[in-house]
């Protein structure tokens, strides 16, 4: 069970890092044989990354909705993320190639995919976590008490 950090905490962002959101949308529910491998490959990649502490991958959380899967990931840098994504010896590149070969994104595609890459910089990100385990950015990089110069959202945004 996750440790609850009682009181108010904020992410300890001292260096830039990356929020990478990646997901899929099932367009044709009955084509299970086509979209399940796409969903499964996401989980396999996260497992691979979690075992490699030198990859630059920090943490991930998966969210599932009716037709959608979202994986929220934090990375040390865009260089680390791109290095992983393009490495043919890691799971992503072969899965990506296979996806485009078998499914693609043309009209009538069984599943749609998307991603967004956001660079988070000190002084441009504000977080607060109240009496809960570390979560999101705080889980990725650690937290510290939201007191003094980190007491309010405005003060947290001004901290460099």
- The pLDDT of 131-144, averaged and rounded, is 95
17-119: which CATH architecture? Answer: 2-Layer Sandwich (3.30)
Where are the domains positioned within the chain?
5-13+123-158, 17-119
Sequence-distant contacts of 133-136: CB under 8 A, at least 24 apart: 133/2, 133/3, 133/4, 133/5, 134/2, 134/3, 134/5, 134/9, 136/11, 136/61, 136/72, 136/74
Q: Average pLDDT of the chain?
A: 92
According to the per-residue pLDDT averaged within each range, which of 35-39, 96-100, 104-108, 143-147 is highest? 143-147
pTM to 2 decimal places: 0.91
Asked if residue 106 has pLDDT above 90, the reply is no
Q: Render pLDDT for 59-90 as a digit per residue (tens, 0 to 9).
A: 999 999 999 999 999 999 999 999 999 999 99
């Amino acid at each position: 069970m996750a440790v609850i950090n009682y009181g108010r905490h904020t992410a300890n962002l001292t260096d830039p890092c990356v929020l990478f959101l990646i997901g899929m949308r099932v367009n044709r529910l009955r084509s299970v044989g086509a979209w399940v491998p796409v969903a499964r490959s996401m989980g396999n990649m996260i497992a691979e990354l979690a075992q490699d502490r030198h990859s630059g991958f920090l943490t991930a959380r998966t969210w599932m909705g009716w037709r959608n899967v979202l994986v929220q990931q934090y990375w040390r840098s865009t260089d680390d993320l791109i290095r992983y994504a393009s490495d043919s010896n890691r799971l992503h590149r072969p899965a990506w190639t296979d996806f485009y070969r078998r499914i693609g994104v043309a009209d009538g595609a069984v599943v749609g995919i998307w991603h967004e890459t956001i660079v988070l910089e000190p002084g441009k990100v504000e977080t607060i976590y109240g009496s809960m385990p570390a979560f999101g950015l705080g889980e990725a990089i650690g937290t510290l008490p939201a007191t003094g110069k980190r007491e309010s959202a405005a003060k947290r945004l001004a901290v460099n």
